[in-house]
Amino acid sequence: MVLCVVSCAVLALPGFAQQSNANSNAQPAAMAAASQGPSTSDREPIPADTHTDFWDGDDPNLVNLVTHPFASKKYVQRQVGPIRDRINELDQLSSENGRAIKDVDARATQGIQMASEKSSLADQHASEAGNKAQLAQTAATQASTRVSTVEQVVGNLDQYKGSGQTEIRFRAGQTALSKAAKDALDAMVVPLKDQRSYIIEVHGFAAGHGQAAIASSQKMADSVVRYLVLTHQIPVYRIYAMSMGNASVAGADGTMAKNTSGGRVEISVLKNDLVGSTRQ
């Protein structure tokens, strides 16, 4: 501020000197005019425009320099006001831009978060689908194994082999089991306890002819079956009984057995070791 005032004073000195010279030159001219008498015209000349501002045309002098509006607060405010308005406008624009940037940033962050959540959810669904597919594959493998096992069991159902044979003889006209017959059945059936994959064939034979021999052999076979079921709890579905009458059946050596005067019952135990081993 001081530097500015000094600069203005330096610029104003030449003008101040010129004004002093002009005043000294004007005094003799005025005295000469007064000696000549009044002018022919009674009207006063039009005064020149006067300026009240130092920078609008007034001759520079120390008073104008000191009292120049540049040194007043109102002048400074009038000059600084537009700049302050522009600065305030820029601040407002900057604030609005900052809010807009924050809004965009918040929306972008929210969008990224939503995309991340959806991606995590998709990964979770994919993992669950993979687990279900693996479980389905395991179930399919187990089902295939069971089917193979069942096929093997079905294929081995008729693979029965004789493991023991007992013959019970009856006197003519007798159908009840004797003490020796019961002991023989006990010795044959006791080893079958808690076992599976076996069947018992009961074939009854009787002397005579026609239906009488068939009926007699049926009664003897029924006596054996009844004893096995009631005494040893052999399931009925494991026993196959057949009344053969007076038929001749080839023995183990391939020869035909001879008919006896009384009756007899052949009991054969057949086991399927293949099915038992497959189930284990």
Q: What torsion, rounded to 10 degrees, do the Cα atoms 135, 141, 143, 145 define?
A: -150
* Exposure b/e, 56-88, CB count within 10 A at least 16 = b: eeeebeeebbeebeeeeeeeeeeeeeeeeeeee
What pLDDT score does 197 carry? 81
What pLDDT score does 78 carry? 76
CATH assignment of 161-279, given 3.30.1330.60, 3.30.420.40, 3.30.1330.10, 3.40.605.10?
A: 3.30.1330.60
Q: Are 262 and 207 in contact (CB under 8 A)?
A: yes
Q: Angle formed by the axes of helices 179-189 and 210-232, to 10°? A: 60
Longest CA span, the chain: 204
Measured between alpha carbons, how far is 253 from 274 in angstroms, rounded to an integer?
26
β-strand pairing of 198-206 with 161-170: unpaired
What pLDDT score does 77 carry? 74
Q: How far, in Å, are 59, 83, 84, 157, 271 from residue 69 at the CA level?
A: 15, 18, 19, 127, 133
What pLDDT score does 85 carry? 85
Q: What are the residue ranges in the chain where pLDDT is below 50? A: 1-6, 10, 12, 14-22, 24-35, 37-40, 54-58, 251-253, 278-280
The domain limits of the chain are 161-279
Measured between alpha carbons, how far is 264 from 172 in angstroms, rounded to an integer?
10
